[in-house]
Structure 1
Amino acid sequence: MLRPVGDQGQQVVRGPLERWPRDRYGIKALTPYEFEDFVAWLLQRDGCLDVKRVGGAGDDGVDVRGRTVLDRPVAVQCKHLSNKVSPRQVREFLGAVIAEHRDGVAVFVTSSYFTKNADEFGVAHGLVLVNMQQLVSWAGGSWSPVAGR
C-alpha cells in the first residue's frame, strides 16, 4: 500500500492505484494532506520527475513541486475545499509562481470549483485550473494538466 508522503519535501512513493480514489466521493473524503499527496501521486503517475509535496506553513503558496517530462518546473497549489475558489486565492497563487516559477507550468487544483471571475483570471494569466470534474478525469487517466508541457 502507498504510504502518505508525510514530512515536507519528502519524495512521493509509488504504490497501487487502489490507494487513491477515482471518483468525487473518494476525493472529498481525503484529508487536506492526503489531497496534496494524491495530486503529487497523479503528477508522478503522469511522468513528472522529482515530485515533492512541500505544502504547509512557509510553502510560499506552492504545495507540490516537480518537473515535467519536457524538464519544465511544475508548481501546484492544492485547495481541498467545499466552497468555490475565489479570485483572491488564484491571484495569490499567481503571485507565488511569478516570483519563483516564471518558465514553468502553474497548476491550481481544487476539490471544488472556481468562481467565474477566478476561472477567467486564471486562464487569462496562463494558469492551468483543475476543478473537481477535471480532477476526476485526471484520476481516471483520461486527461492530464501536464501532458505535452
Structure 2
Amino acid sequence: MINESALLESKTLRGSVLDRTDVLDRVKALSLLPDGMHVTTAMVAAYFEVTVKTLESVVEDHRSELEASGYQVLTGKRLALFKGASGIQSRSKALALFSRRAVLNVAMLLRDSEVARQVRVYLLDMEYLARTQPVENPAHTTPMSLDDRIDQRITHILGKTVVPMFNALIETSGEHRRELVALRTDVQRVEKRLRQHHARLERLEGTRDDRSAVGVMASMDAMNGRAFEQHIARLLRRDGCTNVVVQGGHGDRGVDITGRTADGRRLVVQCKRFAPYLNITSPDVQKFVGAAKVLYSAEVALFVATCPFTPDAVRIAAETGITAVHRGLLEAWSAGEPLKVLE
C-alpha cells in the first residue's frame, strides 16, 4: 500500500504529518461540537464509519499517543465547565473528546475503515505533492515533466520520513536490523504505488501535457471549504450575477450561495469541495432539491462539486431542474467558459 503500512506501523511517521488536519475535510466533512474544536467518540466513529466499540479499542491500544495529539476524557468540574461553555446536554459522568489532530491520528491507526484509508492515501499522495511544488516565476514558467513530479514526491517521502527512521534504527542496535530491511522493502513499494497513484490523478484531473501540474483544479483542491465557496461566488459575479451572497456554514439550510442571474432569476448554489476520487450521490442531490426548490423557490439551482456525480445523482438532478457542475465542467467554468444556464 502507498505507505499505509508505514503510517499504521510507525509512530514517528504519524507524528510527522499530524499538522495536516485539513486533509480530514478534503476527504469527508468533519462535524464539530459547538465549541468548534472537539468531537465526541460517537462523532469520530460516524466519520470513519466504524462502530464505537472499534474506536474504543483503538483508543485503548494507543491511548498515550492519542492523548499527546489532543484526546482527553473530561470528568467532574472540568466536564461541568465544558458542558456549560459548549451547551452540551449530557448526563454522562465522563466525556471523551478528540481534537482534530487526534482524529487525524485515529485515521492513521484504523486498519479497517475505508474513510481512514482514504485519509492516509490523501496525506501521502496529495499533500506531499502540494508541498513539493516549486513557486512559479510568472515570467519563466516551464511545465514540469511527469518524471520530475514523481521524483519530487518520492524524494520528499524518502528524505523527510523514511530515511530519518532508517537512521534512527541504524543508530540504536543490531536488534532492529530486521525492521530496517522491512522498511527498505516498503520504500520500493512506495515508489511503485506513487507511480500508480500519479497516473490515476492524471486521469481524474485531466492534466494535459501542455498545462502546468499546478492548474485550475489543483488550486481548488488546495482550498478549504470557505475559500472554495468564495471562488464560486467570484465566478458567478464574473458571469454577470448580482446580489451574490456567500452564506455557507452552520444554519445555511443546505444552500451555500444565493444571488440573481444577469437576467434577474433567483439563484442558489450548493458547493462541495470533495476529494476527486469521491462522488456526489443521489441523496446529496435530493437534499439540495428540497432546500433549493422548497425553501428558496430557486429558478436556477447549481450543485457545484470538485468530484464526479454518480449516474443516479445526474439523473435526479436532470429530473428536478438542478444543474450538476461536475469536476470537468467546473474546470472549464473556472478557466473562462461560462455556464449555459446562467446566460
- Return the TM-score normalized by structure 1: 0.81
Distance change >3 Å, CA 103–CA 23, structure 1 → 2? closer
Please name the residue that 2:320 is paired with: 125
Contact 2:256–2:268 under 8 Å retained in 1? yes
Cα distance in 2 for partners of 1:103, 1:115 equals 23
Gaps of 5+ in 1: 1-20
Q: Distance in 2 between matches of 1:50 and 1:100?
A: 18
Q: Which of 262, 287, 294 matches 1:99?
A: 294
Query: After the TM superposition, which parts of structure 1 deviate over 4 Å for at least 4 consecutive aligned residues?
Result: none
Q: 1:90 to 1:147 in 2, by over 3 A?
A: same
Give yes or no for contact 2:268–2:298 (8 Å, CA) kept in 1. Answer: no
Report the Cα offset of residue 147 of structure 1.
Answer: 2.8
Counterpart position of 2:335: 140
Q: 1:64 to 1:131 in 2, by over 3 A?
A: same
Q: Is residue 219 of structure 2 the alignment partner of residue 35 of structure 1?
A: no
CA contact (8 A) 2:247 2:257 kept: yes
Q: CA RMSD in A?
A: 1.5
Aligned to 1:45: 238
Compare relative contact order (CA 8 Å, sep 6+) and give the higher one, 1 or 2: 1
Paired residue for 2:260?
A: 67
Identity within the alignment, %: 34
**Structure 1 residues 145, 54: CA separation in 2 closer, same or farther (over 3 Å shift)?**
farther
The 2-side partners of 1:22 and 1:46 are apart by 21
1:110-121 matches, cutoff 5 A? 110-121=305-316
Supply the distance in 1 between the matched residues of 2:215 and 2:334 (Cα, whole angstroms).
5
State the Cα distance separating 1:98 from its structure 2 match: 1.6
Distance 1:70 1:132, change over 3 A: same
1:55 partnered with 2:248:
yes
Is 1:25 aligned to residue 218 of structure 2? yes
Asked if structure 1 preserves the Cα contact closer than 8 Å seen for 2:292 and 2:298, the reply is no
> Would you tell me which structure has more helix in proportion to its own residues?
2
Deviation at 1:146, TM superposition (A): 3.9
Q: Deviations over 1:76-118 (max 9, x none)?
A: 0001112101110100000101213335100000011101111
Structure with bigger gyration radius: 2
In 2, are the aligned partners of 1:22 and 1:136 still within 8 Å (CA)? Answer: no
**Structure 2, unpaired ranges of 5+:** 1-213
- What is residue 84 of structure 1 aligned with on the other side? 279
The answer to whether the 8 A contact 1:107-1:145 is kept is: no
Q: Which residue of 2 aligns with 1:11?
A: none
Q: Which SS does the other structure have where 1:58 is aligned?
A: coil
> Higher strand share goes to which structure?
1
